[in-house]
Amino acid sequence: MKSIILVILSLSYVTLLAQNKDKPNVLFIIADDLNTALSGYGHPQCKTPQLDKLAQRGVSFKNMHCQHPLCGPSRASIMTGMYTYSTGVLLNAGLNREIKPEIITLSQAFKNNGYHAARVSKIFHMGIPYDIERGTAGADDPLSWDEAYNLKALEHNAKGELTNWSPKFDGHQKFNGLIAEGNDSDHVDGMAADKAIELLQKLKDRPFFLAVGMIRPHVPLVAPKKYFDLYNQHEMIVPVVPEDDLDDLPQICRNRNTNKKWGVTPESHKGLLEAYYASVSYMDAQVGRILDELDNLDIAKNTIIVFCSDHGYLLGEHHKFQKPHLFEETTRVPFIVHVPWMSTQNGKSTYKITELVDLYPTLTDLANIRAPKELQGNSLLPLLKNTASKQWKKQEAFTTGRSGSASLRTDKWRITMWKHGDGGFELYDKQNDPGEFVNLADKPEYAQIKASLVKRLKQKKKEAGYKDEMYNEGYK
């Protein structure tokens, strides 16, 4: 009799595992304006122990690229699985359901298949810091969620030591760093972790898709003092850039967001870096709190975890700052995936070229949900099973930008066009010039390579949804 009971219990356990695998939870965490400054990604100074732990539990994608280095377009692309020309979002805005009524967003696909979809803070575009100061939803998409929570915090108006590390610029995107008083939960990302933990406790017994937006390291660079104490401002390593780095760029992009706009001095540059890394470490700690709660509730074994950023960020590379550029530092992002029933690749990395547009089909694949046919990405499942998989065929990443710009990144090359080609080109040999310092586009000996890459870039634009008439419809 005892053996019969054991058999029944064993069969029940196997059945439960099968059910869990068929309907796993999803925890999607996205940071804002985070480049690859993670210690687990090889950064020499920034400390991210919690994300490093997550990387040991999953797969790190070290050659992941965004679809547009600006919050609104990138997030719309992530949440629809489509390139920006297909979403119609190339500025800081949200989805236009009147123009694109057929769109089913990533969370909506899960919501339509019996999941409870919840949002905490910024997933679609929000204006930072204003939407946080007001506690408003920004350009959110209500149809994507069963419940959504906006957070209200003081941001740079909180008590603490405030410094503008870009003294020449006084707009809302200036590099304000705040060594903040109070504890983690007195500021926005701590609040996000608190709410995420509360939702995990509430939803632990039902399938959920929980999206959590971390605001940092978006300016203002706010973090409690203990995270600044992790760093010595005077030891910060400033990017080394050739003095004439911008001289060979097309005129249309040469002077955009250079230090002439910001006025960052050699000393203030180190203060800026310290503030950026401190805000990254603060964000990292909040991610760790959420992941710990998964373990505390014993639901980690049935929860897919994804961490990423919306795009990269320049911190003085190419004598430029912030995001609206098409260099490696702005297109490349951290991306970590943990799938609890796939442990053979834990702690491994892949340098295969991948795109944020690939997230949507990956999650629907893992959850056995039928994906909309409009998706333009590819499921990362082959690489999750084997980081060196030969089944992964993608050989290029496609990113759009301002001023009619678009870029194609292959293993060996980056080709970028401006104003749909009328504004000039950039061509970089990624193997011999990984810093993208020498533009080869106008050198006769590279004319054939350039022509081939430009042809492919124009083909990719059309595959991504670009039509010639868009040139006169605000897609310039």
| Over residues 332-339, mean pLDDT | 98
CB–CB of 462/86 below 8 Å?
no
DSSP notation for 259-282: HHHH---HHHHHHHHHHHHHHHHH
Mutual angle of helices 266-296 and 188-203, in 10-degree steps: 10
Structure confidence at residue 172 as a pLDDT band (50, 70, 90) = confident
CB–CB of 416/405 below 8 Å?
yes
Q: What is the pLDDT of residue 13?
A: 34
Output the six-digit token pair for 248.
Answer: 């060979």
The pTM for the full model equals 0.95
Check whether 355 has a pLDDT greater than 60: yes
Instruction: For residue 441, give the amino acid letter.
Output: A
What pLDDT digit, counting tens, does each position of 191-216 carry? 999 999 999 999 999 999 999 999 99
d(CA 433, CA 244): 15
Could you tell me which of 437, 441, 443 has the C-alpha nearest to residue 416? 441
Q: What is the pLDDT of residue 473?
A: 52
Domain 401-467 has CATH 3.40.50.620: no
Structure confidence at residue 468 as a pLDDT band (50, 70, 90) = confident
| Average confidence score pLDDT of the chain | 94
Residues pairing with 398 in the sheet: 408
d(CA 222, CA 155): 7
What pLDDT digit, counting tens, does each position of 14-72 carry? 333 344 457 999 999 999 999 999 999 999 999 999 999 999 999 999 999 999 999 99
d(CA 261, CA 175): 12
CB–CB of 374/82 below 8 Å?
yes
- In sequence order, the 6+-apart residues with CB closer than 8 A to the CB of 337 are 58, 59, 61, 304, 305, 306, 362, 380, 384
CB–CB of 106/365 below 8 Å?
no
d(CA 398, CA 34): 19
Map out the domains of the chain as residue ranges: 25-397, 401-467
3-state SS track over 126-175: CCCCHHHHHCCCCCCCHHHCCEEECCCCCHHHCCEEEEECCCCCCCCCCC
d(CA 309, CA 332): 9
Instruction: For residue 340, give the amino acid letter.
Output: P
Output the six-digit token pair for 56.
Answer: 């040991």
| Over residues 117-137, mean pLDDT | 98
What pLDDT digit, counting tens, does each position of 234-275 carry? 999 999 999 999 999 999 999 999 999 999 999 999 999 999
Q: What is the pLDDT of residue 31?
A: 98
Output the six-digit token pair for 394.
Answer: 């993608």
**The residue to which tokens 């925890």 are assigned:** 27
Q: What is the pLDDT of residue 11?
A: 37
Distance of CA 27 to CAs 209, 274, 339, 464, Å?
A: 6, 29, 11, 28
Q: Using CB atoms within 10 Å of the CB of residue 475, give its burial: 0 to 12 exposed, 13 to 18 middle, 19+ buried.
A: middle
Q: What CATH number has the domain spanning 25-397?
A: 3.40.720.10
How many CB atoms are closer than 10 A to CB 50?
A: 21
CB–CB of 437/242 below 8 Å?
yes
d(CA 75, CA 220): 20
